[in-house]
Chains A and B, each alone.
Chain A
Amino acid sequence: MIDVELVCGYLGAGKTTWLAHRLRHGGDLVRATVIVNDFAAVGVDIGAFDHGAGDRIAVSGGCVCCDKREELAQLLRAEVDRHHRTGERRESHHVIIEASGVTQPGPILELLQNDPILRASVRRLQVTALVDGIEGAAALRHRLEVRAAVRAADRVIVSRADLSDVQRLAEVAGLVRGLAPEAPIATSALGRERPWTLDVAPEPISDEEADAPVYSSWTVSLAPGTRWSELALWLHAVTRAHPDEMVRVKGIVQTDLAVVAVNTMGRIVDVRSAEPGEGPVGVLTSVLRNLAPEVVARSFAHFVPSSGVPGATESASS
Protein backbone atom coordinates (compact mmCIF):
# COMPACT_ATOMS: atom_id res chain seq x y z
CA MET A 1 0.00 0.00 0.00
CA ILE A 2 1.04 3.58 -0.53
CA ASP A 3 0.02 6.88 1.02
CA VAL A 4 -0.24 9.66 -1.53
CA GLU A 5 0.06 13.31 -0.67
CA LEU A 6 -0.72 15.77 -3.44
CA VAL A 7 0.78 19.22 -2.88
CA CYS A 8 -0.93 21.91 -4.97
CA GLY A 9 -0.67 25.66 -5.17
CA TYR A 10 -0.25 28.39 -7.70
CA LEU A 11 3.12 29.43 -9.11
CA GLY A 12 5.19 30.99 -6.37
CA ALA A 13 2.86 29.89 -3.57
CA GLY A 14 5.80 28.33 -1.73
CA LYS A 15 5.27 24.62 -2.40
CA THR A 16 8.94 23.81 -2.86
CA THR A 17 10.11 25.75 0.22
CA TRP A 18 7.43 24.21 2.42
CA LEU A 19 8.03 20.69 1.16
CA ALA A 20 11.82 20.95 1.35
CA HIS A 21 11.49 22.04 4.98
CA ARG A 22 9.23 19.08 5.74
CA LEU A 23 11.61 16.63 4.15
CA ARG A 24 14.52 18.07 6.10
CA HIS A 25 12.72 17.97 9.43
CA GLY A 26 9.99 15.33 9.10
CA GLY A 27 11.42 12.09 10.42
CA ASP A 28 8.60 9.96 9.02
CA LEU A 29 9.21 11.28 5.54
CA VAL A 30 12.87 10.34 5.33
CA ARG A 31 12.14 7.52 2.87
CA ALA A 32 9.30 9.19 0.99
CA THR A 33 9.37 9.22 -2.78
CA VAL A 34 8.92 12.74 -4.14
CA ILE A 35 7.56 13.30 -7.64
CA VAL A 36 8.27 16.86 -8.72
CA ASN A 37 6.16 18.16 -11.58
CA ASP A 38 7.38 21.18 -13.50
CA PHE A 39 5.27 22.69 -16.24
CA ALA A 40 8.39 23.89 -18.05
CA ALA A 41 10.52 21.55 -20.13
CA VAL A 42 13.33 21.39 -17.58
CA GLY A 43 12.63 20.81 -13.89
CA VAL A 44 14.71 23.17 -11.78
CA ASP A 45 13.07 22.52 -8.41
CA ILE A 46 14.18 18.95 -7.85
CA GLY A 47 17.57 20.09 -6.54
CA ALA A 48 15.76 21.52 -3.51
CA PHE A 49 14.87 18.01 -2.33
CA ASP A 50 18.32 16.59 -1.70
CA HIS A 51 17.49 15.55 1.87
CA GLY A 52 16.22 12.13 2.84
CA ALA A 53 16.76 8.66 1.45
CA GLY A 54 13.76 8.40 -0.87
CA ASP A 55 13.68 8.68 -4.64
CA ARG A 56 13.28 12.04 -6.34
CA ILE A 57 11.56 11.86 -9.71
CA ALA A 58 11.13 14.78 -12.09
CA VAL A 59 8.13 15.02 -14.40
CA SER A 60 8.72 18.00 -16.66
CA GLY A 61 7.25 19.57 -19.76
CA GLY A 62 3.57 19.58 -18.83
CA CYS A 63 1.08 19.11 -16.01
CA VAL A 64 0.38 15.87 -14.19
CA CYS A 65 -3.31 16.72 -14.45
CA CYS A 66 -3.41 16.58 -18.25
CA ASP A 67 -0.63 15.74 -20.71
CA LYS A 68 1.59 14.14 -18.04
CA ARG A 69 -1.21 12.29 -16.26
CA GLU A 70 -0.38 8.91 -17.80
CA GLU A 71 3.27 9.35 -16.85
CA LEU A 72 2.16 10.04 -13.29
CA ALA A 73 -0.05 6.94 -13.33
CA GLN A 74 2.87 4.78 -14.47
CA LEU A 75 5.13 6.20 -11.78
CA LEU A 76 2.56 5.57 -9.06
CA ARG A 77 1.93 2.00 -10.31
CA ALA A 78 5.68 1.43 -10.28
CA GLU A 79 5.83 2.69 -6.68
CA VAL A 80 3.09 0.24 -5.72
CA ASP A 81 4.87 -2.61 -7.49
CA ARG A 82 8.28 -1.79 -6.04
CA HIS A 83 6.95 -1.50 -2.53
CA HIS A 84 5.09 -4.78 -2.93
CA ARG A 85 8.17 -6.63 -4.20
CA THR A 86 10.50 -5.34 -1.50
CA GLY A 87 8.38 -7.12 1.10
CA GLU A 88 7.50 -4.04 3.11
CA ARG A 89 3.82 -4.75 2.74
CA ARG A 90 2.89 -4.09 6.31
CA GLU A 91 4.20 -0.56 6.20
CA SER A 92 2.70 1.98 3.87
CA HIS A 93 5.10 3.82 1.63
CA HIS A 94 4.73 7.60 1.38
CA VAL A 95 4.63 9.21 -2.06
CA ILE A 96 4.50 12.99 -2.34
CA ILE A 97 3.52 14.67 -5.60
CA GLU A 98 4.51 18.30 -5.90
CA ALA A 99 2.19 19.40 -8.69
CA SER A 100 3.13 22.19 -11.07
CA GLY A 101 1.82 25.65 -10.23
CA VAL A 102 -0.96 25.41 -12.81
CA THR A 103 -2.13 21.88 -12.06
CA GLN A 104 -5.83 21.20 -11.50
CA PRO A 105 -6.18 18.56 -8.77
CA GLY A 106 -9.49 17.15 -10.02
CA PRO A 107 -8.11 14.96 -12.83
CA ILE A 108 -5.45 13.52 -10.49
CA LEU A 109 -8.05 12.59 -7.92
CA GLU A 110 -10.09 10.97 -10.72
CA LEU A 111 -7.03 9.01 -11.77
CA LEU A 112 -6.49 7.69 -8.26
CA GLN A 113 -10.16 6.76 -8.03
CA ASN A 114 -10.56 5.17 -11.47
CA ASP A 115 -7.27 3.32 -11.99
CA PRO A 116 -7.91 -0.22 -10.64
CA ILE A 117 -4.36 -0.74 -9.36
CA LEU A 118 -4.13 2.62 -7.67
CA ARG A 119 -7.66 2.45 -6.26
CA ALA A 120 -6.76 -0.81 -4.55
CA SER A 121 -3.31 0.30 -3.43
CA VAL A 122 -3.65 3.86 -2.17
CA ARG A 123 -4.35 3.55 1.52
CA ARG A 124 -4.56 7.23 2.28
CA LEU A 125 -4.82 10.31 0.08
CA GLN A 126 -4.22 13.81 1.32
CA VAL A 127 -4.38 17.02 -0.68
CA THR A 128 -2.46 19.99 0.69
CA ALA A 129 -2.94 23.37 -0.95
CA LEU A 130 -0.54 26.26 -0.50
CA VAL A 131 -1.72 29.83 -0.88
CA ASP A 132 0.57 32.85 -0.88
CA GLY A 133 0.03 34.95 2.23
CA ILE A 134 0.88 38.15 0.37
CA GLU A 135 -0.75 37.90 -3.06
CA GLY A 136 -3.08 34.99 -2.28
CA ALA A 137 -6.31 36.96 -1.90
CA ALA A 138 -6.08 38.40 -5.42
CA ALA A 139 -5.15 35.00 -6.82
CA LEU A 140 -8.13 33.37 -5.10
CA ARG A 141 -10.49 36.05 -6.39
CA HIS A 142 -9.33 35.97 -10.00
CA ARG A 143 -7.86 32.57 -10.78
CA LEU A 144 -10.01 29.49 -11.08
CA GLU A 145 -7.01 27.16 -10.84
CA VAL A 146 -6.08 28.61 -7.44
CA ARG A 147 -9.61 28.06 -6.16
CA ALA A 148 -9.68 24.53 -7.52
CA ALA A 149 -6.64 23.60 -5.46
CA VAL A 150 -8.18 25.01 -2.27
CA ARG A 151 -11.57 23.40 -2.91
CA ALA A 152 -9.90 20.00 -3.23
CA ALA A 153 -7.68 20.46 -0.19
CA ASP A 154 -7.77 18.51 3.04
CA ARG A 155 -5.56 21.16 4.58
CA VAL A 156 -4.41 24.61 3.50
CA ILE A 157 -1.07 26.27 4.20
CA VAL A 158 -0.89 30.05 3.92
CA SER A 159 2.75 30.71 3.09
CA ARG A 160 5.13 33.66 3.52
CA ALA A 161 3.35 34.61 6.74
CA ASP A 162 6.51 36.31 7.98
CA LEU A 163 6.43 38.73 5.06
CA SER A 164 2.70 39.43 5.23
CA ASP A 165 0.54 41.06 7.91
CA VAL A 166 -2.46 39.98 9.97
CA GLN A 167 -4.97 41.84 7.80
CA ARG A 168 -3.83 40.20 4.57
CA LEU A 169 -3.50 36.79 6.20
CA ALA A 170 -7.03 37.10 7.59
CA GLU A 171 -8.36 38.04 4.15
CA VAL A 172 -6.73 34.95 2.65
CA ALA A 173 -7.99 32.77 5.49
CA GLY A 174 -11.55 34.09 5.03
CA LEU A 175 -11.51 33.26 1.33
CA VAL A 176 -10.07 29.81 2.07
CA ARG A 177 -12.81 29.21 4.64
CA GLY A 178 -15.40 30.11 2.01
CA LEU A 179 -13.96 27.57 -0.45
CA ALA A 180 -12.97 24.77 1.93
CA PRO A 181 -14.92 25.19 5.20
CA GLU A 182 -13.64 21.94 6.73
CA ALA A 183 -9.96 22.19 5.83
CA PRO A 184 -7.63 23.10 8.69
CA ILE A 185 -5.51 26.17 7.97
CA ALA A 186 -1.90 26.70 8.99
CA THR A 187 0.53 29.47 8.20
CA SER A 188 4.13 28.92 7.21
CA ALA A 189 7.28 31.02 7.24
CA LEU A 190 10.29 29.62 5.35
CA GLY A 191 8.51 26.28 5.51
CA ARG A 192 7.92 26.29 9.27
CA GLU A 193 4.26 25.76 10.07
CA ARG A 194 2.06 27.31 12.73
CA PRO A 195 -1.66 26.60 13.15
CA TRP A 196 -4.06 29.41 12.25
CA THR A 197 -5.69 30.50 15.49
CA LEU A 198 -7.63 33.65 14.60
CA ASP A 199 -11.37 33.41 14.02
CA VAL A 200 -12.34 34.50 10.50
CA ALA A 201 -15.70 34.49 8.75
CA PRO A 202 -15.93 32.56 5.48
CA GLU A 203 -15.96 34.90 2.51
CA PRO A 204 -17.82 33.65 -0.57
CA ILE A 205 -16.39 34.18 -4.08
CA SER A 206 -18.27 34.01 -7.35
CA ASP A 207 -16.68 31.98 -10.13
CA GLU A 208 -17.99 34.53 -12.60
CA GLU A 209 -15.13 36.89 -11.71
CA ALA A 210 -12.44 34.56 -12.97
CA ASP A 211 -11.13 34.16 -16.49
CA ALA A 212 -10.00 31.01 -18.31
CA PRO A 213 -6.30 31.48 -19.01
CA VAL A 214 -4.08 29.64 -21.45
CA TYR A 215 -0.74 28.70 -19.94
CA SER A 216 2.39 27.92 -21.85
CA SER A 217 6.01 27.48 -20.97
CA TRP A 218 9.21 28.70 -22.56
CA THR A 219 12.61 27.25 -21.83
CA VAL A 220 15.88 28.59 -23.11
CA SER A 221 19.51 27.49 -22.92
CA LEU A 222 21.92 30.32 -22.21
CA ALA A 223 25.55 30.49 -23.20
CA PRO A 224 28.08 30.70 -20.34
CA GLY A 225 29.08 34.31 -19.83
CA THR A 226 25.67 35.75 -20.64
CA ARG A 227 25.92 39.40 -19.66
CA TRP A 228 24.17 39.95 -16.38
CA SER A 229 23.30 43.55 -17.20
CA GLU A 230 21.36 42.44 -20.30
CA LEU A 231 19.55 39.66 -18.46
CA ALA A 232 18.72 41.85 -15.45
CA LEU A 233 17.36 44.63 -17.61
CA TRP A 234 15.19 42.25 -19.62
CA LEU A 235 13.86 40.47 -16.51
CA HIS A 236 12.94 43.71 -14.79
CA ALA A 237 11.45 45.25 -17.91
CA VAL A 238 9.35 42.27 -18.92
CA THR A 239 8.02 41.52 -15.42
CA ARG A 240 7.29 45.21 -14.96
CA ALA A 241 5.32 45.41 -18.21
CA HIS A 242 3.64 41.99 -17.95
CA PRO A 243 3.39 40.92 -14.28
CA ASP A 244 0.25 38.86 -14.85
CA GLU A 245 1.40 37.23 -18.08
CA MET A 246 5.06 36.50 -17.29
CA VAL A 247 4.02 34.67 -14.15
CA ARG A 248 7.28 32.88 -13.38
CA VAL A 249 10.89 32.76 -14.53
CA LYS A 250 13.31 30.38 -12.84
CA GLY A 251 16.77 29.08 -13.50
CA ILE A 252 20.45 29.11 -12.76
CA VAL A 253 22.58 31.15 -15.11
CA GLN A 254 26.32 31.39 -15.52
CA THR A 255 26.64 35.10 -16.16
CA ASP A 256 29.75 37.12 -16.87
CA LEU A 257 29.82 38.08 -13.17
CA ALA A 258 28.81 34.96 -11.25
CA VAL A 259 26.56 31.91 -11.26
CA VAL A 260 23.20 33.22 -10.10
CA ALA A 261 19.83 31.71 -9.23
CA VAL A 262 17.00 33.72 -10.77
CA ASN A 263 13.44 33.49 -9.51
CA THR A 264 10.70 35.89 -10.52
CA MET A 265 7.08 35.94 -9.50
CA GLY A 266 4.93 38.63 -11.01
CA ARG A 267 6.74 41.93 -10.43
CA ILE A 268 9.19 40.45 -7.94
CA VAL A 269 12.67 39.65 -9.30
CA ASP A 270 14.76 37.68 -6.83
CA VAL A 271 18.43 37.00 -7.57
CA ARG A 272 21.06 35.39 -5.40
CA SER A 273 24.27 33.41 -5.74
CA ALA A 274 23.52 29.83 -6.75
CA GLU A 275 24.45 26.93 -4.48
CA PRO A 276 26.53 24.14 -6.03
CA GLY A 277 24.28 21.36 -7.32
CA GLU A 278 21.14 23.47 -6.95
CA GLY A 279 19.96 22.63 -10.44
CA PRO A 280 20.94 22.59 -14.09
CA VAL A 281 23.15 25.57 -14.94
CA GLY A 282 22.43 27.56 -18.07
CA VAL A 283 18.72 26.84 -18.32
CA LEU A 284 16.01 29.43 -17.79
CA THR A 285 12.41 28.28 -17.68
CA SER A 286 9.29 30.38 -17.59
CA VAL A 287 5.55 29.97 -17.27
CA LEU A 288 3.46 32.29 -19.40
CA ARG A 289 -0.20 33.18 -19.05
CA ASN A 290 -2.02 34.21 -22.21
CA LEU A 291 1.32 35.02 -23.80
CA ALA A 292 2.86 33.38 -26.88
CA PRO A 293 6.31 31.76 -26.29
CA GLU A 294 7.44 32.98 -29.74
CA VAL A 295 6.97 36.59 -28.69
CA VAL A 296 9.01 36.06 -25.52
CA ALA A 297 11.74 34.20 -27.41
CA ARG A 298 12.07 36.95 -29.98
CA SER A 299 12.24 39.64 -27.32
CA PHE A 300 14.83 37.72 -25.31
CA ALA A 301 17.04 37.15 -28.34
CA HIS A 302 16.92 40.87 -29.08
CA PHE A 303 17.57 42.23 -25.61
CA VAL A 304 19.96 39.54 -24.33
CA PRO A 305 22.19 38.96 -27.38
CA SER A 306 25.09 37.67 -25.27
CA SER A 307 22.98 34.63 -24.33
CA GLY A 308 23.48 33.07 -27.74
CA VAL A 309 19.72 32.78 -28.27
CA PRO A 310 18.11 31.88 -30.60
CA GLY A 311 19.25 28.42 -29.62
CA ALA A 312 17.32 25.41 -28.49
CA THR A 313 14.01 26.58 -27.04
CA GLU A 314 11.14 24.37 -26.05
CA SER A 315 7.57 25.17 -25.18
CA ALA A 316 4.45 23.46 -23.87
CA SER A 317 0.91 24.69 -23.44
CA SER A 318 -2.27 23.74 -21.65
Chain B
Amino acid sequence: MCGQCRGLSRVPDWYVHVLGEGLRDRHLARFALAETATRALEGMRVSVVSPPGSVEYSVRDTTGRSIAATSVDEIIDAAERLAGRRFDPLAAEQWDVPL
Protein backbone atom coordinates (compact mmCIF):
# COMPACT_ATOMS: atom_id res chain seq x y z
CA MET B 1 0.00 0.00 0.00
CA CYS B 2 1.25 3.46 -0.81
CA GLY B 3 2.24 5.38 2.31
CA GLN B 4 1.30 8.70 0.77
CA CYS B 5 -2.08 8.04 -0.73
CA ARG B 6 -2.98 5.23 1.71
CA GLY B 7 -4.81 3.29 -0.92
CA LEU B 8 -4.61 1.37 -4.12
CA SER B 9 -4.70 4.50 -6.24
CA ARG B 10 -5.98 3.91 -9.71
CA VAL B 11 -4.16 5.50 -12.60
CA PRO B 12 -5.16 5.65 -16.25
CA ASP B 13 -4.25 2.55 -18.20
CA TRP B 14 -1.48 4.23 -20.13
CA TYR B 15 0.37 4.94 -16.89
CA VAL B 16 0.05 1.31 -15.85
CA HIS B 17 1.51 0.22 -19.18
CA VAL B 18 4.47 2.47 -18.62
CA LEU B 19 5.01 2.06 -14.91
CA GLY B 20 3.88 -1.45 -14.15
CA GLU B 21 2.32 -1.96 -10.80
CA GLY B 22 4.69 0.00 -8.56
CA LEU B 23 2.39 1.80 -6.14
CA ARG B 24 4.77 4.56 -5.21
CA ASP B 25 5.36 5.43 -8.86
CA ARG B 26 1.66 5.25 -9.53
CA HIS B 27 0.95 7.63 -6.71
CA LEU B 28 3.56 10.06 -7.99
CA ALA B 29 2.20 9.78 -11.53
CA ARG B 30 -1.30 10.58 -10.32
CA PHE B 31 -0.06 13.53 -8.33
CA ALA B 32 2.04 14.84 -11.24
CA LEU B 33 -0.89 14.62 -13.63
CA ALA B 34 -3.22 16.45 -11.25
CA GLU B 35 -0.64 19.20 -10.75
CA THR B 36 0.04 19.52 -14.50
CA ALA B 37 -3.66 19.51 -15.36
CA THR B 38 -4.34 22.24 -12.82
CA ARG B 39 -1.69 24.45 -14.41
CA ALA B 40 -2.75 23.71 -17.98
CA LEU B 41 -6.45 24.22 -17.25
CA GLU B 42 -6.00 27.36 -15.19
CA GLY B 43 -7.60 29.40 -17.95
CA MET B 44 -10.75 27.29 -17.51
CA ARG B 45 -10.81 28.30 -13.81
CA VAL B 46 -10.71 24.73 -12.54
CA SER B 47 -8.29 22.76 -10.41
CA VAL B 48 -7.57 19.04 -10.38
CA VAL B 49 -6.73 17.09 -7.25
CA SER B 50 -5.85 13.49 -6.57
CA PRO B 51 -7.32 12.93 -3.10
CA PRO B 52 -5.35 10.55 -0.85
CA GLY B 53 -6.79 7.06 -0.99
CA SER B 54 -9.20 7.89 -3.80
CA VAL B 55 -9.40 5.97 -7.04
CA GLU B 56 -10.49 9.11 -8.87
CA TYR B 57 -9.36 12.61 -9.71
CA SER B 58 -11.58 15.46 -8.66
CA VAL B 59 -12.00 18.44 -11.00
CA ARG B 60 -13.29 21.52 -9.15
CA ASP B 61 -14.34 25.01 -10.19
CA THR B 62 -14.10 28.19 -8.14
CA THR B 63 -17.69 27.89 -6.84
CA GLY B 64 -17.02 24.53 -5.23
CA ARG B 65 -18.69 22.33 -7.82
CA SER B 66 -16.72 19.20 -8.65
CA ILE B 67 -16.81 16.32 -11.09
CA ALA B 68 -14.95 13.01 -10.67
CA ALA B 69 -12.67 11.74 -13.44
CA THR B 70 -10.46 8.71 -13.95
CA SER B 71 -8.53 9.59 -17.13
CA VAL B 72 -7.01 12.55 -18.95
CA ASP B 73 -9.96 12.62 -21.33
CA GLU B 74 -12.40 12.65 -18.42
CA ILE B 75 -10.43 15.40 -16.67
CA ILE B 76 -10.68 17.61 -19.77
CA ASP B 77 -14.33 16.70 -20.23
CA ALA B 78 -15.09 17.63 -16.63
CA ALA B 79 -13.22 20.93 -16.97
CA GLU B 80 -15.21 21.78 -20.10
CA ARG B 81 -18.52 20.96 -18.42
CA LEU B 82 -17.70 23.05 -15.36
CA ALA B 83 -16.39 25.98 -17.43
CA GLY B 84 -19.11 25.73 -20.05
CA ARG B 85 -16.65 26.01 -22.90
CA ARG B 86 -14.23 23.92 -24.92
CA PHE B 87 -10.57 23.54 -23.99
CA ASP B 88 -8.54 24.02 -27.14
CA PRO B 89 -4.76 23.95 -26.54
CA LEU B 90 -4.19 25.40 -30.02
CA ALA B 91 -6.32 28.47 -29.37
CA ALA B 92 -4.26 31.59 -28.74
CA GLU B 93 -6.24 32.64 -25.66
CA GLN B 94 -5.04 29.53 -23.80
CA TRP B 95 -1.43 30.69 -24.13
CA ASP B 96 -1.97 33.84 -22.11
CA VAL B 97 -2.26 31.77 -18.94
CA PRO B 98 1.11 31.76 -17.15
CA LEU B 99 2.40 28.30 -16.31
Contact of A230 among B14, B36, B88, B95 (CB under 8 A): B36
Q: How far is the CA of A302 from the CA of B96 in the complex (A)?
A: 9
Contact A236 B17 (CB under 8 A): no
19 residue pairs bridging A and B, Cβ less than 8 Å apart: A228-B29, A230-B36, A232-B72, A233-B36, A236-B76, A237-B40, A237-B87, A237-B89, A238-B89, A257-B18, A257-B29, A258-B18, A269-B14, A273-B17, A298-B95, A299-B89, A299-B90, A302-B95, A303-B40
Residue ranges of A at the interface with B (Cβ–Cβ < 8 Å): 227-230, 232-234, 236-238, 240-242, 255, 257-258, 260, 269, 271-273, 291, 295-296, 298-299, 302-303, 305
Residue ranges of B at the interface with A (Cβ–Cβ < 8 Å): 14-15, 17-19, 25, 29, 32-33, 35-37, 40, 72-73, 76, 86-90, 94-95, 99
Residues of B within 8 A of A273 (CB): 17-18
Q: How far is the CA of A269 from the CA of B89 in the complex (A)?
A: 16
6 nearest A-B pairs in the assembled complex, by CB-CB distance = A229-B36, A236-B72, A229-B32, A271-B14, A229-B33, A241-B88
Contact A241 B87 (CB under 8 A): yes
Residues of A within 8 A of B73 (CB): 236, 240
Contact B35 A229 (CB under 8 A): yes
Q: How far is the CA of A295 from the CA of B88 in the complex (A)?
A: 12
Q: How far is the CA of A161 from the CA of B36 in the complex (A)?
A: 37
Contact A238 B14 (CB under 8 A): no
Residues of B within 8 A of A258 (CB): 18-19
Q: How far is the CA of A257 from the CA of B29 in the complex (A)?
A: 8
Given contacts A240-B73, A240-B76, A303-B89, contact A229 B95 (CB under 8 A): no
Residues of A within 8 A of B87 (CB): 237, 241
Residues of A within 8 A of B29 (CB): 228-229, 257
Q: How far is the CA of A257 from the CA of B11 in the complex (A)?
A: 14
Q: How far is the CA of A308 from the CA of B93 in the complex (A)?
A: 22
Residue of B nearest to A231 (CB): B36
Query: Apart from A237-B40, A258-B19, A291-B90, what 5 extra A-B contacts exist at CB < 8 Å?
Result: A230-B40, A232-B33, A237-B87, A241-B88, A299-B89
Q: How far is the CA of A93 from the CA of B90 in the complex (A)?
A: 47
CB distance from A258 to the nearest CB of B (A): 5
Residue of B nearest to A257 (CB): B18
Residue of A nearest to B30 (CB): A229
Residues of B within 8 A of A271 (CB): 14, 17-18
Residues of B within 8 A of A230 (CB): 36, 40
Q: How far is the CA of A272 from the CA of B18 in the complex (A)?
A: 6
Residues of B within 8 A of A303 (CB): 40, 89, 99
Residue of B nearest to A236 (CB): B72
Residue of A nearest to B17 (CB): A272
Contact B17 A257 (CB under 8 A): no
Q: How far is the CA of A271 from the CA of B13 in the complex (A)?
A: 9
CB distance from A226 to the nearest CB of B (A): 12
